[in-house]
Structure 1
Amino acid sequence: MAYKDLRQYLERLEVKGLLKWIEREVDPEWEISCMNRSVLHGLPEGKRFALGFRRVKGFPGKALVVGAVGISLAHVAAAMETTSEGEALLQKMSAGLSHPIAPKIVARGPCKEVICKGDDVDVRRFPAVVWSPGKDAGPYFTPMWFTRDPETGRRNIGIYRSQVKGRHKLAIWTPQDAQRNISRWFAQGKPCPAALVIGADPAFYLAAGSKMPYGFDESEAAGGLRGEAVELISCETVPLEVPATAEIVIEGEFHPGDLEPEGPFGEFTGYMAASSVPMPVLTVTCITHRRDPIALGLSAQFPLSESSILRQATREASVFKHMRHELMFDWVRDFHFPVSGGTWGWSWIKIRKIGGPQVERAVAALIAYMGTGAGKWIVVCDDDVDIRDPFAREWVLSYRVRPEHDIRVVDGVDAMPLDPSAGSPEETAKRGRGGLSGRVVIDATYKWRYPEISLPPREMLQQVRQRWQEDGLPPLGELWFPCEWR
């Protein structure tokens, strides 16, 4: 049964020990970010938890939760109502994205328990966080943005940072599809309607974080991921629909030429984004919310971060869906974006060799689908390797790659706008978001028959394990090896 709203999901996390509530007052200017960082860098993956704050300084009666959707893969799995991780989670999410379900439009919903218009509009009443204390331009929401193509009517949902600029102003950094929609409205000489959502059913966040072709409605993907249609409700002042059970909805319009400096902001690369750049400003027309709303925040910044873990799970599933279900590459066995690269730097593809130029086909498919998001380093290896394990990845690069033959450097690749290695700050300022970089493609597959793996046969290891306790030795954990062997 799908979660009915964010609150039911948070209750499930709490029962599982994946959410801890803090009852004392905390400061969103620095303390929340530092506590979130402490969980990410002070606890192993299997012991991380989201943090809930009932008393946020300056925001009486407004609770805030951070880390609920992606502070660990266990949280992503919980959002998918499963305990599976790794390849099993990838396949479950990929199957959901491959079977979208159209949303259901409803007339009433909890998101309109309180409606604020006119002089009652003030986005500063809701908790926003300074994620890089002393470095960010100010407090930010990390919400989902809802926009629509004015020509096709297709909606788009994306997760974009939003800087609080005043009581009824928000600046948005607009990459990808949201920028395309805004530009199309402006080309018609019209303002672009938009709505941002702070807190909703986690399926929306998983769908919004995925990589889908332009024109694909992420609300349909959310339905596929949860196994039943999501419920949407019409906004009060703009022609858009948003989750009926959302915690907070901020409606407004982008107007042509209305730009304000946005940033700097700590990015997923592990570095601060460039200093302030003019970006579109949303003029807020209405705010609706639930009574005693619970805001949801997602950290970006240095990896590990919630955004990189969430993006890892959703974009791996998107690529796997494309290769397995659309291109019918059934020989692609797994796909992995390591979070160390912010889910951008590295791409690993695991294949089962059947003949022909499989490495080239897999790499071409990835680049065609993801563009600059395909990564700077692309590695293809055989299906006996656990590409989700760092040791296994390094082992494969050490002994299945001939650098002079198996590594190809590609010049003239579009630079990822936030990659600081693509050029100096002065060069970046001159070229704007454009510019060229490079990419490395590595064939780490077997080229011929190798010697046998130098490990004992598995059945012998199993016999030893059965006698382990009889020998008076301390308990063993699950045996781990970087590859499969006989």
Structure 2
Amino acid sequence: MPIEDTSEFVLALENAGELKRVKTQVDSELEVAEILRRVMYSNGPAVLFENVKGFDIPILGNAFGSVKRLQIGLGMENFEEIGQRIVEMTKMDIPSGILGKLKKLPELSKMGEIFPKLEDDGPVTEVVEKSPSFSSLPILKTWHKDAGRFITLGLVATRHPDTGVRNLGVYRMQILDETHALMHWQKHKRGAHHHDIQKEKGGKIEAAVIIGADPATVFSAIAPVPEGLDKYLFAGITRKKGIRTVKCRTVDLEVPANAEIVLEGYVDPSDIRGEGPFGDHTGYYTPVEPYPTFILTGIMRRKKPIYVTTVVGKPVLEDAYVGKVIERSFLPLIRMFHPEVVDFAMPASGWFQGMAIISIKKRYPGQAKKVMMGLWGTGQLALTKIFIVVDEDINVHDINDVIWAITTRMDAARDVTIINNTPTDTLDPASPLVNLGSKLGIDATQKTAEEGFAREIQEKVMVDDGTKHLVDSRWKEYGI
């Protein structure tokens, strides 16, 4: 059975030895963040702070900070299962005739189980605050030069103004006062797109910020799902069971019934202010930039909620592990559109948008560049700065193997592609302009005569089968 809420996740992590409780009083301003960073940099556990200065709400951090924790939370060993389920759904035949439909009933009924289910109330509706204020929550200040306190793991729910498709995105929020915060949804994100559409209609867009949900819903909010796919449905696909939702009290949006806290409100496109600085996952402070204001209109929460947060900074921190799940889960979708792709990796030290490595089964000249161009035109991969394409014999998860391929199969003049004036991640500290920069493609595949390689391809050094078998069979005798 999938994990249903944050409390259940905490217990599962604790039983697996993946969580520590801290009973010493801690300060949500700087202290908690520094503890979490030190724990993550040393590959430590999730941490539940039970005694937070000035608050009666505990703080949970680093909950997704290891592969094991994500396996526990998502209930699976192999994250590729998620993408494979979507691929299988796209290939499902629609039966014709009564007999065909009867045969498909078991399969179709399973699909129905993954859809969200609207209910009248749930744990998150236990308390409805009549005078909502951000000050009631232990929101962190994470770096000393940050502009203030920031919500860092709020799942921001919006709805497409035309199609009604629901979205969840994780956008940081800088707290300004009791009821105002800045919504840092970058230009390329879906929440910002919804905001722009509503702005053109002359209105404000409603939003709900979910803090603490079941792990599959948290993952769904972060994951760059295909355009038009409802994020609540994606959560159901991920956990193989639909989530329960409830209506907000002050805005017309649905939120997970098992959430810990929900902040209701709207984003005002006419109220633009300077957001930042903020110490981000690039390892640099994001400078002050203009973003719209979120106005808080209501809070729903559990009687005893848990405030779930994350801290970012120079990799590798908690977000790296969530990125690894995204990498693995979306590989089947990448292969669906690019069948030659064997494997795909986004090194954590490249903060994921910075670099990706792709191995392919090469069949024709120029195929590496074809894959690069295709991926640069695919969803959030459009923001990836560097693509490195290697042959199928290279392990994309072994950076030493990748470097070997680059230095032995790549000629700089022939195999480096630079494309100027392309979309870049808003957070990229190196791009000459915000949201606009260049791409680098490195073709580190073995070149053929068709690609102008006039030399004889040198043979790779490999141990012969006889010697390998001999040493394998006598290995224990050597006492090494």
TM-aligned CA deviation for residue 260 of structure 1: 3.1
> Aligned to 2:293, what secondary structure does the other structure show?
strand
Q: Which SS does the other structure have where 2:342 is aligned?
A: strand
Aligned to 1:24: 24
- Tell me the equivalent position of 1:125: 136
1:246-395 aligned at under 5 Å gives the runs: 246-275=259-288, 277-315=289-327, 317-318=329-330, 320-325=331-336, 327=337, 329-355=338-364, 357-370=366-379, 373-395=382-404
Q: Which of 60, 65, 72 is the aligned partner of 1:65?
A: 60
1:240 to 253, 256, 269: 253
**Number of matched residues?**
446
Partner in structure 2 of residue 409 of structure 1:
418
Q: Is the 8 A contact 2:358 2:389 kept in 1?
A: yes
Q: Is the 8 A contact 2:344 2:357 kept in 1?
A: yes
Structure 1 stretches lacking a partner, 5+ long: 474-486
The residue number in structure 1 matching 2:221 is 208
Secondary structure at the aligned position of 2:232 is classed as helix
* 3-state secondary structure, aligned to 1:394: helix
Moved more, 354-363 or 6-15: 354-363
Q: Paired residue for 1:479?
A: none
SS in 2 for 1:441: strand
The separation in 2 between residues aligned to 1:267 and 1:8, in whole angstroms, is 30
* Residue identity in the other structure for 1:267: D
Deviations 1:60-104 (A, max 9, x none): 2x11111112x22333333221234xxxx3x22322454584211
Aligned to 1:454: 461
Q: 1:180 aligns with which of 193, 199, 213?
A: 193
User: Match for residue 80 of structure 1?
Assistant: 74
SS, match of residue 208 in structure 1: helix
- The CA deviation at 1:374 is 4.2
Query: Does structure 1 conserve the Cα–Cα contact (< 8 Å) formed by 2:383 and 2:423?
Result: no
Q: Distance in 2 between matches of 1:394 and 1:225?
A: 34
Q: What's the secondary structure of 1:333's corresponding residue?
A: strand
The Cα of 1:455 is off from its aligned counterpart by 4.2
Amino acid at match of 1:51: V
Provide the secondary structure at the position in 2 that maps to 1:157: strand
| Cα contact 1:210–1:315 (8 A) shared by 2 | no
3-state secondary structure, aligned to 1:456:
coil
Q: TM-score, normalised by structure 1?
A: 0.86
- 8 Å Cα contact 2:324/2:346 also seen in 1: yes
Please, which of 137, 141, 146 is the counterpart of residue 136 of structure 1?
Answer: 146
2:159–2:167 CA contact under 8 A, matched in 1: yes
Task: Give % identity.
Answer: 29
459 and 374 in structure 1: CA distance in 2 versus 1, 3 angstrom threshold? farther
**Aligned: 1:52 with 2:63:** no
**Structure 1: how far apart are the matches of 2:339 and 2:335?**
5
CA contact (8 A) 1:348 1:380 kept: yes
How far 1:30 moved relative to its partner?
1.5
* Distance in 1 between residues matched to 2:173 and 2:303, nearest whole Å: 23
1:153 maps to 2:153:
no
SS of the residue corresponding to residue 124 of structure 1 reads helix
CA contact (8 A) 1:19 1:50 kept: yes
Please name the residue that 2:406 is paired with: 397
CA distance, structure 2, for counterparts of residue 186 and residue 317 of structure 1: 34
Q: Matched residues in 1 for 2:48 and 2:77: separation?
A: 22
Tell me the distance in 2 between the aligned counterparts of 1:50 and 1:463: 46
Letter in 2 for 1:297: T
Once residues 125 and 464 of structure 2 are traced to their aligned partners in structure 1, the CA distance between those partners, rounded to angstroms, is 63
Question: Could you say if the C-alpha distance between residues 245 and 460 of structure 1 is closer, same or farther in structure 2, counting changes exceeding 3 Å?
Answer: farther
Q: TM-score, length-normalised on structure 2? A: 0.87
Alpha-carbon deviation of 1:373? 4.2
**Cα distance, 1:39 vs. partner?**
2.2
Distance 1:398 1:155 in 2: 46
Amino acid at match of 2:48: G
Q: Equivalent residue for 1:480?
A: none
- Asked if structure 2 preserves the Cα contact closer than 8 Å seen for 1:344 and 1:373, the reply is no
Q: Distance in 2 between matches of 1:355 and 1:56?
A: 60
Distance 1:354 1:378 in 2: 19
The verdict on how the C-alpha distance between 1:388 and 1:264 changes in structure 2, with shifts beyond 3 A counting, is same
1:420 counterpart SS class: coil
Q: CA deviation at 1:188?
A: 2.2
Distance 1:53 1:450, change over 3 A: farther
Q: Secondary structure, in 3 states, of the residue corresponding to 1:438?
A: strand
The alpha carbon displacement at 1:314 in A equals 1.5
1:95 aligns with 2:95: no
Structure 1 residues 238 and 465: alpha-carbon distance in aligned structure 2, compared to 1, 3 A threshold: same
Q: CA deviation at 1:289?
A: 0.8
CA change 1:372–1:421 in 2 (3 A) is: farther
Deviation per CA, 1:123-182: give whole Å up to 9, x if none. 2111111122x1111111121100111211111100010112222222210121111112
Over 3 Å counting, the alpha-carbon distance change for 1:122 and 1:461 in structure 2 is farther
CA 1:461 to 1:107, structure 2 compared with 1: closer, same or farther past 3 Å?
A: farther
Paired residues of 1:309 and 1:343 also in contact (CA < 8 A)? no
Aligned match of 2:92: none
